[in-house]
Amino acid sequence: MFWIVYIKLTNHYILKSKNKVKKQSKNPSFKKKIWKQIFSVLISLMLFLVYILFMFATPYIKGSINDNYLQEIVNDIIKGENTDAEKIGALLNWFDRNSENMYNSWYLVHNNKVLLSLIPNHFFILSEMPYFGIRCSEDMDGKWIITSRFGACGEYSRVFLYMADSIGINVRRVHANGEDHLWNEVKINNNWMPVDPTNVSLPDSGDGWEDYSFFEWKEGNVSYVWAEYLHNNTIEDLTYKYTDLTNVTIHVVDQNNNSVSDVTITIMSNNLQDSDRIHKTFIKGKSKPKTNKTGYCAFQIGGGTYKFKVDTEKYIGKTEWVECSDTKASHNFTLALKKK
């Protein structure tokens, strides 16, 4: 009996609802309103998808599509400047944080301007200009950044590289992987000079011109520094220019205290004292330290706080965070492994 009453009541209300929708649907204004809403949503969705597709496709298109555009920008920037130093100064001014020529992703993220990050550290929806931001992958041609005008030190140093090169300045892009930063060096009067387009107008930098000690007094220690050139695959170790080097010797043993040979050591840097910015530190193209037949390996590195790790098919192990002062000639550590 209960089920019969329930079914009848249900059918009654379903029929009533259908009749209500039917009556409303016959009303021209109701139909218009529905179609208007659908049309608005579709247009918004279409524009958003077009924007996404364009911005995601751009990095995969040869960067030369922006050749003329980049040259126009640079010619305008250096108008009236005569010497290489004046031209570099003018280029650096273009990167001023207050100019809105580039939008700094690191600043926007750390000042809570991100509404949504669809792809971690790559695509952002922001609460202020540029509202949409897409970062560039390291292995892509950097000229497309002139289209997006968005990024952090990786993008800034790449745009600067192309700008300086376009006016015949000898320029290279400088990496400090362990300290999560990139900048540039330019050759003026036969001397290489560091410049940092990311930090123009910041209180601790000013105009972007730097000296070789700038990393240490701004951020602390620096582990390895290396440069890449635009027109060849040359990698140059510049660590000695930015910091003093110290000798590190590591003895790798197993759980029975037997020496372990032929294992590769990965060096992790905590020089920024920031758990979100711990990175492997290395020089591109240079082999990682590896233990010899007696289980020892020796290498040089700039001062800092490091963790030394081994992860092979057989073994796993790491040291605690250890301090390596670049004012001390050498440091010795033991790394104990265990079988997986």
Spatial contact of 259 and 216, defined as CB atoms under 8 Å apart:
no
Distance CA 75, CA 69 (A): 10
Q: What share of the chain has pLDDT > 70, as a percent? A: 82
214, part of any domain: yes
Residues 149 and 191 in one domain: yes
Distance CA 175, CA 295 (A): 31
Whether a cis peptide bond, with omega within 30° of 0, leads into 203 is: no
Kindly report the CATH number assigned to the domain that includes residue 299.
2.60.40.1120
178, part of any domain: yes
- Whether 29 has a pLDDT exceeding 90, the answer reads no
Residues 222 and 287 in one domain: no
Instruction: Give the CA angle between residues 18, 23, 27 to the nearest 5°.
Output: 140
Q: How many helices (H) and strands (E) does the chain have?
A: 9, 19
- pLDDT-derived band at 262, boundaries 50, 70, 90: very high
Residues 218 and 135 in one domain: yes
Rg of the chain's alpha carbons, rounded to an integer?
Answer: 29
Q: What pLDDT is stored for residue 325 in this prediction? A: 94
Q: What pLDDT is stored for residue 7 in this prediction? A: 38
Segment 13-26 mean pLDDT: 49
Query: Pairing between strand 245-253 and 330-336?
Result: parallel
Instruction: Give the CA angle between residues 122, 123, 126 to the nearest 5°.
Output: 125
Task: Give the number of other Cβ atoms within 10 Å of residue 272's Cβ.
Answer: 19
28, part of any domain: yes
Entry pTM: 0.80
> What secondary structure letter does DSSP report for 80?
T
